[in-house]
């Protein structure tokens, strides 16, 4: 873990510094965004992608920086099941933004930063207070703080807009976000905050990990769990506040939750989740800034959120392990394997019924045995042939097992009969109750478990119905597929 | 004489001014395997949490090896209830066991190679080494419990608190755990184990603490485990009493 | 600062609204009252079912429903709006369920992802088709309650009833109140003990979706007046305040209505004084009432309810 977390930190720092390099080295010439009004989509895209306009660079850098810090802190929110705390906190900063603005009636990044952070922290403190001193539950307390702080903020914002100087203040841009409004001072503040977030998480990674996973244990080893909780809240407030200008108060919580949730679906380790969430957040930020730049006066926040949602949807659907498609595919291939094994079993039964005389099994025999039509049998036979478990000589409507097919058929019948015997013998279940169970178990018994059963049953050779339990012919390659399921229960 | 591993004096714990534990006095001698038994809501988990300082206490004090517990947490190991954590959490078995080393590491330090070796050794003791790189949600209940035990072993403590380590585990894990507890006791450690199942309690532990908001009885198992004290602990609960009667009969 | 907070003139703040501006004030206050009552009645059940944040989610995510309804029907008619909101509400509920059940993402994160995505779609639709959609971003956030008196009047059978949105909201409130009255015991039982409800033959799933449908309709009709986010306050504040004051459900429902009336009236005066968004001012007034209730009763209730007999309701849900 030592070297792995270090590597993660190094990668993040590398990401950050390359962003800053981009900011300070690219030459600045060309008009500002607002200067041209009649431009085509293509021109706009080109202008954005060449980074000639400094405000484009600021917007892009700022969006990427906020994506990193939101992704990192959002990961902790998601694994701590505190996603909606992020939502409440991000709405609660609005009155702070307004008060910071009132400080000297301008969009001073530092004043707004301080005001908004204080309001956010006050909001989380009030949630705790409500939970402790009233019978209200957490969800109600969160909703209450979210909405009432927001209402106070709206009162203040509308009061500011009524002022002679307030109308062109751009404070309304804080509601839905306008990345184009990000200036050099904003980007510097964002870089400082993002750097702080990366460094703090890297330094206290193990403490954040254990307090998030098992707070009780963390306290029992003497860690100041509360301090880490409040530290996380403080960083979270910072991340929300630097994201405000580009994403807006209303949708900031999505930048916290969505990239982190997408990362959560793709990996099983916290340090990788942090890295992925930071990358996803950065990508969503950049894409959102780009898309909103294409239109005239479009808000940035919603585009970033949709970009993040697209990443989440991709992870949800196509994630290699937990994705819907992958799971559906696994289920399907398992069902297909069980189908093949059942056909093989039926072939074995047919052969057994004629005392293993003759090698070929005709489709009609098989159809009768399985109580299915010959067409269905043909499909199954084709599936067996595809997996080289049987051969289908063209002229006859019959199939012949390959050595591998014969081996699998024996193994399945053996599993079935062994399990029936085990149930009647050891678990004292009546012989006419065991078939259904064995129909399922036969497909999942692993080799080790079979050995164990054979040993426990004293290498019996007949099943409870008096039929022979086949041995499995020894061959070059053994089982066709690894058996999932076994090995999970100790 | 060296101070006892655990000394509790007049401990009272209350939730919302309603006492859950009341005037608990306890001195646990070293090298004993102590079972804590009592009905649901008797305050068993509360007792061990309060003893470690995880809950605010209304009155009383706890000393571990003669010092207030907060000063001596490094000599205390803890196995929380399995249900107390989210097993979908993105960590591997190894990560969890390494957490046992965090208390000794201190802030800002990373686990070293020695810590990894120690964690591997502890995983091996609970026969979970082959699973070291698995994510924890891919484990059975018994395996999860073994991981928690390995983490406690990695703490290398002298006094262990375990909250229902036998709940929801298979028979193989149960006997593995009990062997491990005996091994720890042989190494001179003191263990306090919250236990739910009365019939096995008699066989597993050297000493029993019968708890029902107050200490009903505490002493060597053969002295404490009798119909009278158990009836005092469990009150008139008939099903449990018949279980106890059976257990007493088997013993006699 | 002096510019920001206008002088407090008693005449202007308290008298003028009810004399000179009576005809507009009365409709604004009525609208505020109806919105807060309808929201509060539904919100009581959300609080009881620990679904306060589902209310949050739905109130955000009806936005694309409304925007699409506008774009398709080209009008601001009630029916398309209700349909759009119902569909959007259903989509939200289903999305949350699917994300939460089909992956290991927990419910809180699923809620957060679903509603922010839908809200983002709504905002984008509105800003792309701003000229076609008679809505702007500010209206989405805090509504246009102040413009209600400008709407003109609805007449029915020779009687002047009032501005159309107020009449509509009054009808919605009436329907909600009727439904809550008619299905009082079904809603209560299924909210507090689904197992008991099942044994009594009440279909809890149906009640759940019916409640969500009611929520969507209430939220969409409140939307124009108070916007998407202040609706959450209207949903939660009355019920939360009532929870602090009483443990008996019928009393809580009554207190909800009282809270709604008081916050509408006090909000009007606050908004007139500060010259800010009237809808936000109503929520701030409601928050003030909540704080007062919490300061006076909140602390005592916590300790009383440990022992109180009639509180088994909350105790059971706490398990």
For C303, other C-beta atoms within 10 Å of its C-beta total 12
Question: What pLDDT score does C260 carry?
Answer: 92
Helical pair C22-48 and C204-245, crossing angle rounded to 10 deg: 110
- Contact status of B17 with chain C (Cβ, < 8 Å): yes
A273 contacts B102? CB cut-off 8 A: no
Question: What pLDDT score does B193 carry?
Answer: 95
Give the minimum alpha-carbon distance from B135 to chain A in angstroms, rounded to a whole number: 6
| pLDDT at position A323 over 50 | yes
Question: Would you say B26 and B199 are in contact if contact means Cβ atoms under 8 Å apart?
Answer: no
Name which of C281, C318, C229, C202 is nearest C17 in CA terms. Answer: C281
The answer to whether position A484 is within a domain reads no
| Residue of chain C minimizing CA distance to A140 | C52
Q: Do A24 and A160 sit in the same domain of this protein?
A: yes
Question: What pLDDT score does B116 carry?
Answer: 93
Distance, in Å, from the CA atom of A41 to the CA atom of A45, rounded to the nearest integer, reads 6
Question: What pLDDT score does A414 carry?
Answer: 87
Question: What pLDDT score does C132 carry?
Answer: 61
Q: pLDDT band for A5, please (50, 70, 90 cuts).
A: low
Question: What pLDDT score does B251 carry?
Answer: 53
Question: What pLDDT score does C66 carry?
Answer: 85
Distance, in Å, from the CA atom of A342 to the CA atom of B207, rounded to the nearest integer, reads 56
Stretches where chain B sits below pLDDT 50 are 238, 252
Q: Do A23 and A87 sit in the same domain of this protein?
A: yes
Average pLDDT for chain C: 81
Question: What pLDDT score does A294 carry?
Answer: 82
As a whole number of Å, the CA-based R_g of chain C is 20
The answer to whether position A99 is within a domain reads yes
A328-337, C3-12, C58-67 — which is least confidently predicted?
C3-12
Question: What pLDDT score does B36 carry?
Answer: 94
Checking C5-10 for CB contacts under 8 A at 24+ apart, the result is: C5/A159, C5/C274, C6/C273, C6/C274, C6/C275, C8/C273
A132-146, C11-25, C78-92, C127-141 — which is least confidently predicted?
C127-141
Q: Is C205 exposed, middle or buried (0-12, 13-18, 19+ CB in 10 A)?
A: exposed
Q: Do A133 and A268 sit in the same domain of this protein?
A: yes
A269 contacts B91? CB cut-off 8 A: yes
Helical pair A94-104 and A109-133, crossing angle rounded to 10 deg: 140
- Contact status of B90 with chain C (Cβ, < 8 Å): no
Between A334 and C9, residue with greater pLDDT: A334
A221 contacts B146? CB cut-off 8 A: no
Select the residue from A77, A122, A135, A257 to test the C interface by mutation, using most C Cβ atoms within 10 A. A135
CATH of the domain at C51: 1.10.3470.10
Between C29 and C197, residue with greater pLDDT: C29
Q: Do A279 and A360 sit in the same domain of this protein?
A: no
Question: What pLDDT score does A322 carry?
Answer: 80
| pLDDT at position C237 over 80 | yes
The answer to whether position C204 is within a domain reads yes
Q: Do A276 and A228 sit in the same domain of this protein?
A: yes
What domain range is A422 assigned to? Answer: 405-456
Q: Which contiguous run of DSSP H or E holds residue B64?
A: strand B59-64
- Contact status of B18 with chain C (Cβ, < 8 Å): yes
Question: What pLDDT score does A20 carry?
Answer: 65
Give this complex's ipTM.
Answer: 0.88
Select the residue from A9, A131, A132, A222 to test the B interface by mutation, using most B Cβ atoms within 10 A. A222
Write out pLDDT tens, residues C268-319.
888 888 888 888 899 999 999 999 988 887 655 444 444 333 333 333 333 3
A463-484 mean pLDDT: 61
Give the minimum alpha-carbon distance from C23 to chain A in angstroms, rounded to a whole number: 24
The answer to whether position C318 is within a domain reads no
Of A81, A147, A309, the CB nearest to C233: A147
Contacts of A305 in chain C (CB under 8 A): 116-117, 119-120
Q: Do A155 and A177 sit in the same domain of this protein?
A: yes
What domain range is C42 assigned to? Answer: 10-150+165-313
C303 contacts B88? CB cut-off 8 A: no
C104 contacts B16? CB cut-off 8 A: no
Distance, in Å, from the CA atom of B184 to the CA atom of C214, rounded to the nearest integer, reads 61
Average pLDDT for chain A: 83
The answer to whether position C158 is within a domain reads no
Between C130 and A469, residue with greater pLDDT: A469
Of A1, A209, A489, the CB nearest to B140: A489
Q: Do A308 and A330 sit in the same domain of this protein?
A: no
Question: Would you say A376 and A367 are in contact if contact means Cβ atoms under 8 Å apart?
Answer: yes
Q: Do A283 and A429 sit in the same domain of this protein?
A: no
| pLDDT at position C143 over 50 | yes
Select the residue from B51, B102, B128 to test the A interface by mutation, using most A Cβ atoms within 10 A. B102
Q: Do A245 and A337 sit in the same domain of this protein?
A: no
Question: What pLDDT score does A479 carry?
Answer: 43
For chain A, the domain total comes to 3
CATH of B6-86+157-251, one of 3.30.450.20, 1.10.150.120, 3.40.50.300, 2.40.50.1020: 3.40.50.300
C306 contacts B88? CB cut-off 8 A: no
Select the residue from C96, C229, C304 to test the A interface by mutation, using most A Cβ atoms within 10 A. C229
Phi, psi of C154 (to 5 degrees): -95, 135
Question: Would you say A227 and A111 are in contact if contact means Cβ atoms under 8 Å apart?
Answer: no
Out of A389-393, A397-401, C41-45, C210-214, the most confident range is C41-45
Distance, in Å, from the CA atom of A263 to the CA atom of A261, rounded to the nearest integer, reads 5
Q: pLDDT band for A285, please (50, 70, 90 cuts).
A: very high
Question: What pLDDT score does B184 carry?
Answer: 92
Q: Do A355 and A229 sit in the same domain of this protein?
A: no
Question: What pLDDT score does C301 carry?
Answer: 46
For chain C, the domain total comes to 1
User: Which chains sit next to C, with 3 or more Cβ pairs under 8 A?
Assistant: A, B
CATH of the domain at A442: 1.10.60.10
> Residues with Cβ < 8 Å from A366, sequence gap 6 or more?
A343, A346, A347, A350, A377, A381, A399
Task: Provide the β-strand partners of residue B18.
Answer: B15
A307-329 mean pLDDT: 90
The answer to whether position C157 is within a domain reads no
Q: Do A206 and A272 sit in the same domain of this protein?
A: yes
């Amino acid at each position: 873990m030592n070297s792995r977390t270090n590597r993660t930190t190094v990668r993040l720092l590398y990401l950050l510094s390359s962003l800053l390099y981009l900011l300070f080295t690219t030459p600045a010439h060309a008009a500002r965004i607002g200067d041209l009004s009649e431009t085509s989509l293509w021109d706009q895209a080109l202008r954005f992608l060449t980074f000639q306009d400094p405000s484009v660079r600021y917007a892009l850098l700022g969006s990427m920086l906020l994506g990193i810090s939101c992704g990192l802190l959002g990961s902790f929110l998601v694994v701590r099941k505190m996603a909606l705390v992020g939502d409440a906190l991000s709405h609660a900063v609005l009155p702070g933004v307004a008060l910071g603005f009132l400080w000297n009636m301008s969009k001073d990044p530092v004043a707004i930063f301080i005001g908004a952070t204080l309001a956010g922290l006050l909001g989380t403190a009030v949630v705790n207070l409500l939970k402790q001193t009233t019978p209200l539950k957490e969800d109600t307390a969160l909703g209450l703080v979210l909405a009432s702080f927001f209402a106070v903020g709206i009162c203040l914002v509308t009061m500011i807009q009524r002022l002679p100087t307030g109308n062109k203040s751009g404070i309304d841009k804080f509601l839905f976000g306008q990345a184009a409004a990000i200036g050099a001072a904003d980007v510097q503040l964002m870089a400082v905050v993002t750097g702080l977030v990366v460094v703090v998480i890297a330094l206290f990674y193990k403490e954040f990990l254990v307090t998030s996973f098992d707070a009780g244990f963390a306290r029992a080893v003497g860690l100041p769990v509360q301090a880490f909780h409040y530290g996380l809240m403080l960083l979270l407030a910072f991340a929300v506040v630097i994201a405000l200008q580009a994403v807006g108060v209303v949708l900031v919580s999505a930048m916290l939750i969505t990239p982190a949730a997408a990362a959560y679906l793709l990996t099983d380790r916290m340090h990788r989740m942090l890295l992925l969430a930071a990358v996803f957040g950065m990508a969503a930020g950049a894409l959102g800034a780009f898309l909103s730049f294409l239109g005239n006066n479009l808000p940035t926040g919603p585009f970033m959120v949709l970009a993040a949602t697209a990443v989440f949807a991709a992870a949800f659907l196509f994630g290699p392990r937990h994705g819907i498609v992958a799971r559906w595919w696994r289920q399907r291939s398992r069902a297909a394997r069980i189908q093949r094994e059942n056909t093989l079993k039926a072939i074995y039964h047919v052969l057994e019924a004629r005392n293993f005389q003759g090698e070929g099994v005709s489709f009609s025999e098989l159809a009768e045995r399985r109580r299915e039509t010959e067409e269905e049998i043909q499909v199954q036979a084709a599936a067996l042939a595809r997996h080289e478990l049987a051969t289908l000589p063209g002229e006859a409507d019959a199939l012949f097992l390959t050595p591998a097919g014969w081996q699998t058929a024996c193994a399945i019948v053996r599993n079935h009969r062994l399990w029936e015997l085990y149930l009647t013998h050891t678990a004292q279940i009546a012989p006419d109750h065991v078939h259904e169970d064995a129909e399922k178990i036969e497909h999942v018994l692993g080799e080790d478990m079979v050995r164990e059963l054979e040993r426990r049953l004293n290498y019996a050779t007949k099943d409870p119905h008096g039929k022979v339990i086949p041995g499995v012919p020894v061959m070059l390659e053994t089982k066709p597929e690894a058996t999932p399921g076994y090995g999970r229960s100790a | 004489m060296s101070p006892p591993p655990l000394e509790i004096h007049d401990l009272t714990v209350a939730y919302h001014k309603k006492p859950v534990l009341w005037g608990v006095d306890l001195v646990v001698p070293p090298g004993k395997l102590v079972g804590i038994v009592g009905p649901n809501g008797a305050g068993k988990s509360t007792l061990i949490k309060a003893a470690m300082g995880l809950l605010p206490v209304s009155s009383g004090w706890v000393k571990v090896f003669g010092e207030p517990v907060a000063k001596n947490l490094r000599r205390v190991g803890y196995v929380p209830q399995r249900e107390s954590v989210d097993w979908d959490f993105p960590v591997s078995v190894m990560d969890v066991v390494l957490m046992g080393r965090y208390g000794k590491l201190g802030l800002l330090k990373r686990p070293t190679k020695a810590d990894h070796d120690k964690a591997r050794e502890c995983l091996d003791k609970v026969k979970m080494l082959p699973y070291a790189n698995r994510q924890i949600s891919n484990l059975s209940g018994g395996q999860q419990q073994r991981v928690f035990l390995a983490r406690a072993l990695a703490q290398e403590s002298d006094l262990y608190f375990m909250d229902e380590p036998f709940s929801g585990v298979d028979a193989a894990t149960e006997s593995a755990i009990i062997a491990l507890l005996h091994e720890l006791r042989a190494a001179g450690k003191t263990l306090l184990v919250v236990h739910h199942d009365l019939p096995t309690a008699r066989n597993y532990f050297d000493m029993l603490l019968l708890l029902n908001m107050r200490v009903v009885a505490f002493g060597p198992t053969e002295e404490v485990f009798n119909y009278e004290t158990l009836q005092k602990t469990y009150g008139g609960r008939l099903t449990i009493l018949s279980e106890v009667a059976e257990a007493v009969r088997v013993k006699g | 600062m002096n510019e920001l907070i206008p002088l407090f003139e008693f005449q202007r703040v308290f008298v003028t609204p009810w004399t000179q501006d009576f005809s507009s004030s009365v409709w604004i206050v009525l609208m505020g009252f109806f919105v807060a009552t309808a929201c509060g009645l539904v919100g009581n059940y959300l609080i009881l079912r620990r679904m306060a944040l589902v209310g949050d989610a739905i109130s955000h995510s009806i936005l694309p429903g409304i925007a699409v309804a506008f774009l398709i029907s080209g009008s601001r008619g009630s029916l398309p709006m209700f349909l759009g909101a119902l569909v959007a509400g259903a989509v939200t509920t289903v999305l949350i369920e699917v994300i939460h059940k089909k992956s290991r993402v927990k419910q809180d994160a699923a809620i957060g992802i679903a509603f922010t995505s839908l809200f983002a779609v709504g905002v984008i639709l509105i800003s792309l088709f701003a000229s076609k959609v008679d809505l702007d971003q500010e209206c989405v956030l805090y509504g246009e309650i102040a413009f209600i008196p400008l709407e003109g009047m609805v007449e029915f059978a020779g009687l002047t009833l009032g501005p159309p949105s107020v009449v509509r909201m009054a009808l919605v409130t009436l329907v909600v109140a009727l439904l809550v009255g008619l299905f009082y015991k079904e809603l209560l039982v299924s909210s507090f003990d689904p197992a008991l409800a099942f044994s009594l033959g009440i279909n809890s799933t149906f009640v759940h979706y019916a409640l969500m449908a009611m929520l969507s309709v209430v939220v969409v009709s409140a939307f124009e007046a108070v916007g998407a986010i202040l609706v959450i306050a209207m949903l939660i504040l009355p019920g939360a305040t009532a929870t602090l004051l009483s443990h008996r459900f019928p009393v809580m429902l009554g207190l909800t209505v009282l809270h709604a009336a008081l916050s509408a009236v006090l909000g009007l005066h606050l908004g007139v004084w500060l010259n800010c968004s009237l809808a936000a001012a109503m929520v701030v007034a409601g928050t003030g009432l909540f704080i007062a209730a919490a300061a006076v009763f909140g602390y005592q209730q916590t300790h009383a309810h440990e022992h109180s007999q009639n509180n088994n309701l909350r105790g059971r849900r706490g398990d």
